[in-house]
Structure 1
Amino acid sequence: MRIGDLSARTGASVRMLRYYEEQGLLAPVRTDSGYRIYQESDVDRVARIRCMLSAALPSGVVGEALKFLLDGRAVIPDEPADRARLADTLEGELDLLTEKIESLQHSRELLATIVSDVRGDVVGPGRPGDPGCAVRRSVRKAGPAIGPVR
């Protein structure tokens, strides 16, 4: 199948398929005129690539993992050293993803507090020992509306 057909079947744009090839994740056969020809197994391969990339794995890690995820079924490496290396790499990526999630959760909590404070007309940090994060304005002043911060 040609690149447009693979794109239609997988939902990956033609541009992304070319990127996957540049990264060594896909290896289409080339015709004499330079057209890319993909195999039926590439449909599953692209699905696996997209899944791993959406999990925030770098393309180099995806390439390593793909060595063991061919022909539509997961295959565990035979050599214990290969299994350990792959598991360590994936576990490292899992740890990084967990850290990112924790950071995003913290940022979300802070933003939710700011939104709550803005809706409640409060500003500034609270005092030590106060249960709230902010204090109410003492005098409401009229002034220009503040737009969203970008």
Structure 2
Amino acid sequence: MASNRVDVVRVEKSASEWKSTLNAQEFQVLRQKGTEPARTGEYDKFYPTEGHFVCRGCGTPLYSAKAKFDSGCGWPAFDKCYTGAVKTEVDNSFGMRRVEIMCAGCDGHLGHVFENEGFSATMERHCVNSISVRYVKEQKEAEEGKVV
């Protein structure tokens, strides 16, 4: 039986190689774990009915348009991701526990996932920087699920 998972291809680049392919803001967020200011990203209030979102750094498919919802947090929010496309790391900076989400293809920083807030059936809110992703109009059919 064939799996309906996203094919993740690892992309390894040096900092100088990333700097040559990303603009300064993309590099700061994706490679240095920065955060764009709330309510400034191009996808904050963007709700397509079809298509998907890919990593801006390496093109790995991450989220379906159907997984995006309005959480009011000021950043794009998704309640699930393509299985195997997003990985996590516990972030204990700033005196609190957060779960960082990163692209499984290139380790690019996407944002953080918050649990048990009640926004959706998955009980996950992936709070993603717009600059970390790019919208693609074509539909991508793949298994989706929780990351934590």
- When the two structures are superposed, what TM-score results if normalisation uses the length of structure 2? 0.22
Between structures 1 and 2, the one with greater helix share: 1
Greater RCO, CA 8 A, separation 6+? 2
Find the structure with the greater CA-based Rg. Answer: 1
More strand by share: 2
